[in-house]
C-alpha cells in the first residue's frame, strides 16, 4: 500500500496504479459528499466521476499545505455546484415559500435517533436549491456571502433558502420520528406478546 504522499506524487506523474489507488482509497468518502448534493444516486455518480477526472488532471495544483481530503472535497463541492447550475432548468423560478415564513416542528433532535441513511433520504427529498444551500452552510460551513457568490444568487436568497431548508427538514424528520416511534412501539408490543 502506498502512502497518501506517494499516491499524490504518482498521480502527478499520471501513473495508472496511483490513479487507481487514489480512487480506491477516497471514492467512498467523496461519494458520501456527492450523495449529499445530488438528488439521486445516478447524479451522485456523475458528480463523482467528473470530480475524479478533475482531481487527476489538476493534482499538480495541490499545494501540499492543508489536508488533501479537504482539497478533494472542495473540488467535489465545486463540481456539484457546476452540476447544479447545469441541471437548473428553472433558474428564475422562485418557490412561493420563499415569501411565506414557515416555522414548524421541534428544534432539537437526539443524535442517535436517526440513521445516516435516513438523513440522506430526507436531504435528497429537498428541492435542489434548498439542498445546495443547506449543504454548503450547515455541513461545509461556508458563509452566506460565499454561498451567494458560488451559486450566483442573492445573499438574502441564500439566507431564506437555508431557513426554508431547515423548516422542511424539521417537518420531514418529525414525520419520520412519529413513524419510527410507532414501529418501535409495535415492536415492543410484539416483544411483550412473545
Partner 1 sequence: MELDELFRSKLDNIEAVPDPAVRHSLMRKLAVKEFLRFNPVRLNIYYAAGIVAAGITAAVLLFSHDDRAEKSEQGTINIKSEIRSDTVSMFYSPAVIRKESQEKTEKQAISQSVVKPDERKRGVQPPQENKSVGVMAADSLKKMEFSPVVSDKTTNANIRKTPVASFKASFLQGCMPLKVSFYNTSVAYDSCKWIFGDGGSSVSVNPEWIYDRPGAYRVVLNVYGGGTVSYATEVITVHPKPSARFEVEPLNPTGGNDAVKFINYSNDAVRYRWDLGDGTVSFAFEPIHRYDRTGKYNIKLTVWSEFGCADSITVINALGGSDYFIEFPNAFIPNRDGPTGGYYSATSDASAHIFHPIASGVVEYQLRIFTRTGILIFESNDINIGWDGYNKGNLCEPGVYVWKVRVTFKNGETYVKMGDVTLLRGN
How far is the C-alpha of 194 from the C-alpha of 176, rounded, in Å?
27
- With left for phi above 0 and alpha for psi between -120 and 50, is residue 19 left, alpha or beta? alpha
Letters for 7-46 (x = contact with partner 1 by CB under 8 A, - = none) are ------xx-x--xx--xx--xxx-xx-xxx----x--xx-
Nearer to partner 1, 47 or 81 (CB): 47
- With left for phi above 0 and alpha for psi between -120 and 50, is residue 14 left, alpha or beta? left
Q: Which residues contact 4 (CB under 8 A, 6 or more apart)?
A: 68
What would the grid cell of residue 75 be?
Answer: 473540488
Of 82-90, 124-132, 133-141, 178-186: span binding partner 1 (CB under 8 A)? 133-141
Letters for 91-130 (x = contact with partner 1 by CB under 8 A, - = none) are ----------------xxxxx--x-x--xx--x-------
How far is the C-alpha of 161 from the C-alpha of 75, rounded, in Å?
23
Binding positions for partner 1, rule: CB under 8 A? 13-14, 16, 19-20, 23-24, 27-29, 31-32, 34-36, 41, 44-45, 48-49, 52-53, 56-57, 107-111, 114, 116, 119-120, 123, 134, 138-139, 166, 169-170, 173
Amino acid at each position: 500500500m502506498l502512502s497518501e504522499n506517494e499516491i499524490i506524487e504518482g498521480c502527478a506523474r499520471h501513473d495508472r496504479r496511483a490513479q487507481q489507488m487514489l480512487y480506491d482509497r477516497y471514492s467512498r468518502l467523496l461519494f458520501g459528499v456527492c450523495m449529499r448534493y445530488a438528488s439521486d444516486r445516478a447524479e451522485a455518480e456523475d458528480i463523482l466521476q467528473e470530480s475524479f477526472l478533475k482531481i487527476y488532471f489538476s493534482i499538480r495544483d495541490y499545494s501540499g499545505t492543508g489536508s488533501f481530503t479537504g482539497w478533494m472535497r472542495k473540488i467535489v463541492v465545486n463540481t456539484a455546484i457546476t452540476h447544479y447550475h447545469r441541471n437548473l432548468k428553472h433558474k428564475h423560478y422562485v418557490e412561493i415559500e420563499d415569501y411565506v415564513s414557515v416555522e414548524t416542528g421541534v428544534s432539537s433532535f437526539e443524535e442517535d435517533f436517526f440513521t445516516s441513511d435516513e438523513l440522506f433520504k430526507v436531504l435528497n427529498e429537498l428541492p435542489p436549491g434548498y439542498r445546495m444551500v443547506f449543504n454548503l452552510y450547515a455541513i461545509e460551513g461556508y458563509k452566506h456571502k460565499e454561498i451567494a457568490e458560488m451559486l450566483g444568487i442573492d445573499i438574502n436568497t441564500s439566507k431564506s433558502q437555508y431557513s426554508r431548508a431547515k423548516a422542511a427538514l424539521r417537518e420531514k424528520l418529525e414525520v419520520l420520528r412519529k413513524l419510527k416511534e410507532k414501529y418501535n412501539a409495535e415492536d415492543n408490543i410484539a416483544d411483550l406478546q412473545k
